[in-house]
């Protein structure tokens, strides 16, 4: 086979990815040993894939180092080292298999006479088996519990995540809408400045004369007294028209609020009213006012 064709056949990639079987691997290794171009190509592929792996490195969770190294040590002390002939980079290297007992049944029978220390050994073996079985059952039970707990935790996490996503989506939609208002030329800005009662108070109304929509953006407002709430009024030919009460997040300036639609207005003002608002403004509590 032409070397270039061999390189392009994709077999080197499969080799590096470890998906070739035992029969296919030596052939690739032989070709690489014979042809420097193939060797170079294979090295390059391997480097590329190693780099890909390294780029995915993440810091393991805290405490993992002790757990993994501890678990590893325990595991290797339980299973003694056995010579393995697992081929390199195999898709799934076979587990080391303990040498099988002699196949001939006769041999087994012959070596287990009935009346000698062997029977005590048998009894001991049975006891050990029972103990192991019980241990295994206990282990299964513990693992099962852990599995259940993990599943429950996962479910909670997933519920929480979807709830969080929904909240975030809603918040995002709201921000989008606010941004549309702020960018829309049809909205006229009305600065509401503090009255002598609250000289630092500041708010801004966005009014769309065409759609009649009113948005309110609070910059700074003193906290309303206990049991009171801010209410926005539109002044149309000197007559106050209720434009709605301010949500607490609006009053603190955390969000922009859409107020009631107003057919026509020349000015806007805010007063402090009992919770739920009033039918007509309490003029003595007027906090901010501004003309269009």
Partner 1 sequence: MLPVSATTPESAALATEELLVQRLRERDEAAMTIFYDKYSAALYGVIFRIVKKEEIAEDVLQEAMVKIWHSFGSYDADKGRLFTWVMNVCRNLAIDKIRSRQYRVGSRTQPIEESAALRQAAEPTFRPEHIGLQEMTRQLNPEQQQIVDLLYFGGFTQSEVAEELSLPLGTVKTRARAAIKVLSKLIR
Q: Give the interface with partner 1 as residue ranges (CB under 8 A).
A: 8-10, 13-14, 16-19, 29, 44-61, 64-65, 67-69, 71-73, 75-76, 79, 81-93, 96, 150-151, 154-155, 158, 161-162, 165
Q: Give the distance from CA 22 to its chain's centroid.
A: 40
CB of 19 to partner 1, least distance (A): 5
CB of 37 to partner 1, least distance (A): 14
Kindly tell me which of 17 and 130 has the beta carbon lying closer to partner 1: 17
CB of 135 to partner 1, least distance (A): 20
- Closest by Cα among 228, 215, 220, 232 to 180: 215
CB of 61 to partner 1, least distance (A): 6
Give the tokens for residue 133. 């079985």
Kindly tell me which of 49 and 181 has the beta carbon lying closer to partner 1: 49
CB of 100 to partner 1, least distance (A): 19
Kindly tell me which of 60 and 118 has the beta carbon lying closer to partner 1: 60
Kindly tell me which of 126 and 166 has the beta carbon lying closer to partner 1: 166
Q: Are 112 and 121 in contact (CB under 8 A)?
A: no
Give the tokens for residue 214. 């009113």
Kindly tell me which of 53 and 101 has the beta carbon lying closer to partner 1: 53
CB of 84 to partner 1, least distance (A): 4
CB of 52 to partner 1, least distance (A): 5
- Closest by Cα among 215, 216, 213, 268 to 240: 268
Distances 229 to 14, 22, 60, 195 between C-alpha atoms, Å = 71, 79, 51, 17
Residue 190, helix vs strand vs coil: strand
Kindly tell me which of 95 and 115 has the beta carbon lying closer to partner 1: 95
Q: Are 232 and 187 in contact (CB under 8 A)?
A: no
Burial of 90 (0-12, 13-18, 19+ CB in 10 A): middle
111: CB partners within 8 A, 6+ apart:
none
Query: ∠ CA(151), CA(73), CA(131), 5° rounding?
Result: 70
Kindly tell me which of 18 and 222 has the beta carbon lying closer to partner 1: 18
Beta partners for residue 230, in sequence order: 272
């Amino acid at each position: 086979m032409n070397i270039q064709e061999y390189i392009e056949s994709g077999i080197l990639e499969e080799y590096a990815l470890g998906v070739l079987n035992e029969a296919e691997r030596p052939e690739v290794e032989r070709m690489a040993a014979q042809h420097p171009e193939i060797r170079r190509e294979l090295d390059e592929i391997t480097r590329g894939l190693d780099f890909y792996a390294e780029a995915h490195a993440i810091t393991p969770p805290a405490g993992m180092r002790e757990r993994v190294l501890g678990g590893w040590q325990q595991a290797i002390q339980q299973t003694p080292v056995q010579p393995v002939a697992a081929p390199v980079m195999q898709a799934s290297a076979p587990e080391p298999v303990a040498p099988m007992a002699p196949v001939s049944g006769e041999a087994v029978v012959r070596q287990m006479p009935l009346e000698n220390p062997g029977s005590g050994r048998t009894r001991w073996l049975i006891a050990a088996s029972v103990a192991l079985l019980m241990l295994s059952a206990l282990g299964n039970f513990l693992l099962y519990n852990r599995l259940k707990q993990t599943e429950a935790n996962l479910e909670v996490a997933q519920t929480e995540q979807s709830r969080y996503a929904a909240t975030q989506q809603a918040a995002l939609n709201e921000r989008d809408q606010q941004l549309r208002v702020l960018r829309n030329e049809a909205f006229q800005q009305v600065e509401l400045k503090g009255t002598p009662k609250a000289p630092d108070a500041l708010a801004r109304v966005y009014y769309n004369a065409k759609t009649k929509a009113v948005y309110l953006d609070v910059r700074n407002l003193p906290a309303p007294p206990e049991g009171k709430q801010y209410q926005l009024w539109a002044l149309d030919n000197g007559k106050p028209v209720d434009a709605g009460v301010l949500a607490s997040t609006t009053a603190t300036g955390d969000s922009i609020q859409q107020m009631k639609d107003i057919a026509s207005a020349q000015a806007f003002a805010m007063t402090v009213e009992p919770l739920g608002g009033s039918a007509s403004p309490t003029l003595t509590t007027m906090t901010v006012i501004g003309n269009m």
